[in-house]
Amino acid sequence: MISALAVRYAKAILAAATELGGEDLVTGELSAVAEAGRFFLSGSGAGRSQRHAAVDEMAEACGLSPVSVSVLHLLVDAGRAELLGEIAEALRELADRAAGRLTASVTVARPMKATERKRIAAALQVLVGKEVIVEEEVSPSVIGGARARAGNLLIEGTVAGRLERLRHSLR
């Protein structure tokens, strides 16, 4: 669940990045940093100056844009670096919505091939009327088939789902 505070930060970041023409760049950078650097930025016993130094090192090593670097320094100063993951998620959702894209979570039993991913994205795009970005989640518990969630749309096409429906119908 994304907090209201994370959404407020994301809206402000998106507005600044859009003004500078780098909304997709900043969204991608902050998502990557959220995965890699959250531990170093949010605490771990490090002082504020050490966290700022970590931001500068990441910025140099990864070639982060000035907007992303400023955002990271702001979060460190505000003591909100622990929100980076939520902010990055909210930022991606806001940027996708503004661009007319929708992220679909697709759960499968084994990793999908590129052709399967494209077929699923195309089918979902027809249903929702927007460009669809497929996020794959592998879970052997689905046994086979796929479960797709795109916005409010849920398509249950897994073997596990079919077995569950069969079990309920036999009661």
Distance between CA atoms of residues 24 and 12, nearest Å: 14
Q: What is the largest CA-CA distance in the chain?
A: 64
Q: In this predicted structure, what is the pLDDT of residue 126?
A: 94
Q: How many helices (H) and strands (E) does the chain have?
A: 7, 4
For 28-67, the pLDDT digits (tens) are 899 888 877 666 665 566 788 888 888 898 889 889 999 9
Q: Taking the domains of the chain in order of start, what are their residue ranges?
A: 4-95, 100-169
Strand, helix or coil at 103? strand
Q: In this predicted structure, what is the pLDDT of residue 46?
A: 72
Model's pTM, two decimal places? 0.71
Helix (H) or strand (E) holding 42: helix 23-42
Q: In this predicted structure, what is the pLDDT of residue 38?
A: 61
**pLDDT-flagged residues of the chain (< 50):** none
According to CATH, what is the number of the domain 4-95?
1.10.520
Residues linked to residue 154 through DSSP beta bridges, in sequence order: 149
Q: In this predicted structure, what is the pLDDT of residue 171?
A: 84
